[in-house]
């Protein structure tokens, strides 16, 4: 039995469109494109050559130099986003034993692994540094955040490919619901625009070969040909309603429901009949106590790949039936690319802010409708909608599906 209501009181983000949740959301509403040619390494010999990179980011704005040197870039992102979320929440004093962290990643220390293998092959094992361990492990973002903020409650670091961020937030939600904590710092981080992971995803032929950054990511468009890899982090502060009210916190929205299913079908492709996607949305709505008519907006996973977009649209039509034509749907991956494990967390923050402000970001680069994708996509700029509830979808390689439901907070 779910006993405690859970609310969102703090938001932090590092994305290709800005440092901070508010800056990123503003750019999304304005349809700003954060995709460009890869600069982290020379992409000349790679099948794809574009990415959505985080720019103008200095980890030392949040982390001292010595500590930063012991962290990989994905942890830098997570700590910065966590610090912004904590500041935004206004949390000053709390019971450390009742405060926990769930921050996941998919690949973890990709840059550290690249540097480590280069040293190993060129100089031998005797030249490896012990610091590499604390930089490469997937759980280091969660651990470093726990240490940084003194959170001594539940600690975990899920890794569920592209649905990681949503799973992390959903898991933290459950911890609070059952009363095992009062406060949870939750989300994900990814920084895998590095030669090996980038090359591996090129090999799967799931990334776009479009040479033009201006319209490379085009979810739901008939001419879409793959996703654009991105990087970043999204972190939220979740609290039980009782705890938030006791300290008179500003509340963005209520975290209402969490669905989690598996396709049990294929390592990379979604199940053709969309059964896992259908079941996960139904589960989240049921968990939230919402009917299909309560939902006004879906922040779609919308990767800009042929199969994912087609299957997600079929699933939405199946779940919402004739009401699906009344839903507003958009994919922010058209602007920030696919942030991989960080995607779900950043997109959840976008969904929360859409419910809070009543403004829905567009899907840019949409020009040619696809008969297989026949929903009401927001494509002509941001729209103002009186949202009572919204959902955010995340679907990952390996068949992991996650849906998070958010509703407007009411006393």
Which residues, other chains included, contact 238 with Cβ-Cβ below 8 Å and sequence gap of 6+?
6, 7, 8, 9, 169, 172, 173, 176, 183, 184, 185, 186, 255
Q: What is the pLDDT of residues 320-351, one digit of tens each?
A: 999 999 999 999 999 999 999 999 999 999 99
- For the chain, give percent helix, strand, coil, nearest 5: 40, 20, 40
Cα–Cα distances in Å, from 366 out to 26, 128, 153, 223, 376? Answer: 20, 48, 45, 9, 12
Using alpha carbons, select from 190, 172, 161 the residue that is nearest to residue 75. Answer: 190
In the prediction, which pLDDT does 346 show?
98
Q: How many CA atoms lie within 13 A of 372 on its CB side?
A: 16
In the prediction, which pLDDT does 411 show?
83
Burial 132-144 (b: 16+ CB within 10 A, else e): bebbbbbbbbbbb
Reported pTM:
0.97
- CA-to-CA distance for 217 and 67, rounded, in angstroms? 36
Q: How many Å separate Cα 129 from the centre of its chain?
A: 31
- CA-to-CA distance for 215 and 272, rounded, in angstroms? 27
Q: How many CA atoms lie within 13 A of 380 on its CB side?
A: 2
Confidence of residue 154 (pLDDT cuts 50, 70, 90): very high
Angle at which helix 306-320 crosses helix 275-288, to 10 degrees, equals: 50
In the prediction, which pLDDT does 1 show?
47
Using an 8 Å Cβ cutoff, are 232 and 165 in contact? no
* Over residues 380-409, mean pLDDT: 96
Which residues, other chains included, contact 397 with Cβ-Cβ below 8 Å and sequence gap of 6+?
161, 162, 267, 268
* Over residues 141-148, mean pLDDT: 98
- CA-to-CA distance for 247 and 11, rounded, in angstroms? 17
- In the structure encoding, which two tokens stand for residue 344, read together? 């779900």
Q: What is the pLDDT of residues 189-238, one digit of tens each?
A: 999 999 999 999 999 999 999 999 999 999 999 999 999 999 999 999 99
Using alpha carbons, select from 408, 406, 402 the residue that is nearest to residue 158. Answer: 402
Q: Which domains does the chain have, with CATH numbers?
A: 6-246 (3.40.47.10), 257-405 (3.40.47.10)
The whole-chain average pLDDT of the chain stands at: 96
Which alpha helices (DSSP H) does 36-125 contain, by range?
Answer: 65-69, 73-89, 110-123
Confidence of residue 151 (pLDDT cuts 50, 70, 90): very high
Tell whether the model's pLDDT for residue 2 goes beyond 70.
no
Q: Tokens 């990511």 identify what position?
A: 217
Q: What is the DSSP string of 24-44?
A: HHHHHHTT----EE--SS--T
- CA-to-CA distance for 390 and 329, rounded, in angstroms? 10
- CA-to-CA distance for 87 and 82, rounded, in angstroms? 9
| Helix/strand/coil for 155 | strand
Residues designated as active site: 162, 301, 338
Beta bridge partners, 15, equal 18
* Over residues 252-260, mean pLDDT: 98
Name the DSSP letter for residue 66: H
Which residues, other chains included, contact 359 with Cβ-Cβ below 8 Å and sequence gap of 6+?
29, 353, 382, 383, 384, 385
Using alpha carbons, select from 396, 171, 170 the residue that is nearest to residue 265. Answer: 396
- CA-to-CA distance for 365 and 215, rounded, in angstroms? 5
Name the DSSP letter for residue 369: B
Q: What is the pLDDT of residues 162-200, one digit of tens each?
A: 999 999 999 999 999 999 999 999 999 999 999 999 999
- CA-to-CA distance for 387 and 365, rounded, in angstroms? 25
């Amino acid at each position: 039995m779910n006993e405690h209501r859970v609310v969102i009181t703090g938001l932090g983000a590092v994305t290709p469109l800005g440092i901070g949740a508010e800056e990123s959301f503003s750019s999304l509403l304005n349809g700003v494109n954060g995709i460009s040619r890869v600069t982290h390494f020379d992409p000349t010999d790679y099948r794809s050559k574009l990415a959505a990179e985080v720019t103008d980011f200095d980890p030392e704005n949040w982390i001292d130099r010595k500590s930063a040197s012991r962290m990989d870039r994905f942890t830098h992102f997570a700590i910065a986003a966590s610090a912004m979320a904590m500041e935004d929440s206004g949390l000053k004093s709390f019971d450390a034993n009742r405060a926990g962290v769930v921050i996941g990643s998919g690949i973890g220390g990709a840059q550290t692994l690249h540097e480590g293998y280069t040293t190993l092959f060129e100089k031998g094992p005797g030249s490896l540094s012990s610091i590499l361990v604390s930089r490469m492990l997937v759980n280091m973002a969660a651990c470093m955040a726990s240490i940084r903020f003194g959170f001594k409650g539940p600690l975990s670091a899920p890794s569920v490919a592209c649905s990681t961020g949503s799973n992390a937030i959903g898991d933290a939600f459950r911890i609070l619901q059952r009363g095992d904590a009062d406060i949870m710092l939750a989300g994900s981080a990814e920084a895998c625009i590095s030669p090996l992971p980038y090359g591996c995803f090129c090999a799967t032929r799931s990334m776009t070969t479009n040479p033009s950054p201006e319209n490379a990511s085009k979810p739901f468009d008939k001419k879409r040909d793959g996703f654009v890899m991105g990087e970043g982090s999204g972190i939220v502060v979740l609290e039980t309603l009782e705890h938030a009210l006791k300290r008179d916190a500003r509340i963005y929205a209520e975290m209402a429901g969490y669905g989690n299913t598996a396709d049990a079908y294929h390592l990379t492709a979604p199940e053709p009949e969309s059964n896992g996607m259908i079941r996960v949305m139904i589960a989240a709505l049921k968990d939230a106590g919402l009917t299909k008519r309560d939902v006004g907006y879906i922040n779609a996973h919308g990767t800009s790949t042929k199969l994912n977009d087609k299957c997600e649209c079929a699933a939405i039509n199946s779940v919402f039936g004739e009401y699906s034509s009344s839903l507003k749907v958009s994919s922010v991956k058209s602007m920030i690319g696919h942030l991989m494990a960080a995607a779900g967390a950043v997109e959840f923050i976008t969904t929360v802010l859409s419910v809070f402000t009543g403004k829905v970001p567009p899907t840019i680069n949409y020009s040619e409708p696809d008969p297989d994708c026949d929903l009401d996509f927001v494509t002509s700029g941001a729209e103002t909608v009186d949202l009572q509830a919204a959902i955010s979808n995340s679907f990952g390689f390996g068949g992991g599906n996650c849906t998070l439901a958010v509703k407007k907070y009411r006393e």
